[in-house]
Each structure stands twice: as structure tokens, then as C-alpha cells.
Amino acid sequence: MARIFCIANQKGGVGKTTTTVNLAAGLAQIGKRVLVVDLDPQGNATMGSGVDKRALELSIYDVLLENTSIAEARQAGTKAGYDVLGANRDLAGAEVELVALERRDKRLKGALRAVDADYDFVLIDCPPSLSLLTLNGLCSAHGVVVPMQCEYFALEGLSDLVNTIKQVHANLNPDLEIIGLLRVMFDPRITLQQQVSEQLKAHFGDKVFNTVIPRNVRLAEAPSYGLPGVVFDPASKGAVAFVEFAKEMSTRLGASAAAVA
Ligand code: ADP
Ligand code: MG
């Protein structure tokens, strides 16, 4: 059975897409079968995985409107080491079209069921909003990974996301939980970042992942080569941190599965 996770934070530019593609590549490297679902009309996770969003014949848009299946629409075996269900600007229209349809928040969940046996992990890259698209992600997932920068307003923005996750948990998807908060673009030389990092740990305890992703220019350069940093420059500090994070995720989930059993 696939474990399904949303990478979500309603702020833009906080590192969601970078986390999605590099966690996917890190998990692939440790032998996991991974599908990345791009739920953002900007299609950055698609391009950053080496799939040309402009050339997509079928995309997540067609899946959400139930014109096709994920098995038909996915790009199998990218250079990055995982499969991709791509997105492009068509997806921006889906929001409006979905509103009038039944089961509008459960479309992705239904579609993922059919490929459940093909993957160990499904990672959903969410758009920077708490929209119907994000809701489709949250209704499909077992958990949410929240990348965040350790900046002054970081905690404030978090409460909206935490409330949304609580509401989805209570009303739509009882499986949903926050798996953890991931500190990204971290620069230990900046005192404020250290302070916010400490506050996060004080507030959220072991919900804060041990792994910290440093600010590293190789992670920012990689998308222009159509590769995750983990594949583009495996020796870079950012890549090493993401492989470490993939192992931490994998271990953490193994431990929680054992606790349930
Ligand atoms: P989001 O998906 O939340 O909008 P992105 O993952 O696209 O955020 O990241 C925003 C920008 O920051 C991108 O240009 C990305 O390359 C860059 N970036 C993300 N993580 C890092 C990092 N750890 N070090 C340096 N640059 C980063
Ligand atoms: Mg993004």
C-alpha cells in the first residue's frame, strides 16, 4: 500500500516544490517506488523532474475531471528516478470546473486508489493556497509535510494551515495528520533563524524533523537542468540533507507502523 503525503504550506516560495522533488529522489535512491503528483498549475515539480509541462498530452487536470486514469496520464521512469503525474496551466481552470461537480474534493483520492499497488510513496506538491486543489490533496493523504523557513512570521502563517488540517481531519479525512515540520533554506549564521528554530521545537516538539535543509545554491540551480538537486549534484550539502531526510521519513513511518501493529 502506498503512503500518501502532501507537501503543503499556503505561502509561496517556502520550498514545497524543492522538498517534493528532492524527497522523491531521495526515497527513490533508497529503493522506494515513488509517484510525484503536481497539484500546482505552475508545474514547477513537473519541470523540475525533467518533464516538459508544455508537451503534456494528459495531465492531472484530465485525471481530476475523470477524463483519464493516473496509469494513462503519468510519465513513468523519469531521469529523476520516480514517476510524475504532471501539471500545467490547464489546471488553473480545473478549480472552477470542479466546483459544479459531485465528489469535487475526493477526485484525486479516487484516482490514486487505482495505482496504490504501484508505489511505496506518493508525494503531492500543493499550490500556495488552501484551495479546492489543495483540498483534493489533503483528502487523499495520510499525512502532511510542512516545509518552512525559520523567519519571523513563520509561526503565524502556520496556524491557518494547522486549522485547515484539523478541519479536514474532523470532517473529510480521519487519516490525515501532520507528519512533521521541515526546516528549509536554513542558515545557522542568522541568529533569528536559530531563535525561530528553537521556538518551533518548543511549540511542536517531535513534530519537527531532526533533519535541517540548509540554504544551498545547487538546490536552486538544479531545476533549470530538469533534475532534483539530489540527482543533479549528489555531493552538495543540500542533496546530502535531502537524502538524510528521506531516510528519516522512512524510519519515522516504519516506527509509527510498528507502534500501530
Ligand atoms: P514553493 O514550491 O513553496 O513555492 P520552491 O521550492 O519553488 O517553493 O522554492 C522557492 C525558491 O527557493 C526556488 O527558486 C528554489 O530553487 C529556492 N530554494 C528552495 N529551497 C532552497 C534551498 N534549500 N537553498 C537554496 N534555494 C532554495
Ligand atoms: Mg511550488
pLDDT at 17: 98
Q: What is the CATH classification number for the domain harbouring 149?
A: 3.40.50.300
Q: Which residues pair with 4 in a beta bridge?
A: 122
pLDDT at 164: 93
Task: Please choose from 7, 10, 14, 18 the residue to mutate so as to test ligand 1's pocket, defined by most ligand atoms within 8 A of CB.
Answer: 18
Instruction: Give 148-206 pLDDT, tens digit per residue.
Output: 999 988 788 888 899 999 999 999 999 999 999 999 999 999 999 999 999 999 989 99
Chain position carrying cell 498549475:
41
261 alpha carbon to ligand 2 midpoint, in Å?
A: 35
Ligand nearest to the CA of 149: 1
Number of domains present in the structure of the chain: 1
What mean pLDDT is reported for the chain?
94
Contact 20, 123 (CB under 8 A): yes
Output the CA torsion sign for 133, 33, 237, 202. Answer: positive
Q: Which residues of 157-170 are buried (b: 16+ CB within 10 A; e: fewer)?
A: bbeebeebbeebbe
pLDDT at 69: 98
Residue 89 structural domain: 3-260
Instruction: Give 44-69 pLDDT, tens digit per residue.
Output: 999 999 999 999 999 999 999 999 99
Contact 78, 51 (CB under 8 A): yes
Instruction: Kindly tell me if the per-residue pLDDT of 20 is higher than 90.
Output: yes
Instruction: Give 127-156 pLDDT, tens digit per residue.
Output: 998 899 999 999 999 999 999 999 988 788
Determine whether the shortest distance from the Cβ of 109 to ligand 1 is under 6 A: no
Instruction: Give 60-99 pLDDT, tens digit per residue.
Output: 999 999 999 999 999 998 899 999 999 999 999 998 899 8
Q: What is the mean pLDDT of residues 102-107?
A: 93
Determine whether the shortest distance from the Cβ of 114 to ligand 1 is under 6 A: no
pLDDT at 158: 87
Determine whether the shortest distance from the Cβ of 182 to ligand 1 is under 6 A: no
Instruction: Give 204-247 pLDDT, tens digit per residue.
Output: 999 999 999 999 999 999 999 999 999 999 999 999 999 999 99
Confidence of residue 261 (pLDDT cuts 50, 70, 90): very low
